[in-house]
Amino acid sequence: MKEKYLAIEIHGEIFVMNNNDELGELIDKDIPHTVIGRVCTEECNTTCLHYRGGTCPCKAMKDIHGYLIHVFV
């Protein structure tokens, strides 16, 4: 099974976590969090034609490390 990565807000910061182990750990430990959406991993960057054409359905965000990510919201 291919892992999906999610943008998750915890205490006002955005983390990228996989939908299996890492999200399950938050739930098991009862850590308050909000799932923002699925992170686009399909060439969604400045070389993506959808992004450059302004038709990208993703919202651009920065994670806690300052990396630009695109999230389906």
d(CA 36, CA 50): 21
Q: Which whole number is the average pLDDT over 9-15?
A: 93
pLDDT value for 1: 47
pTM, full prediction:
0.74
pLDDT value for 42: 54
Among 60, 4, 6, 67, which Cα is nearest to 36's?
6
Express each pLDDT in 25-73 by its tens digit. Answer: 888 899 999 999 988 765 555 666 777 777 778 888 888 988 888 888 8
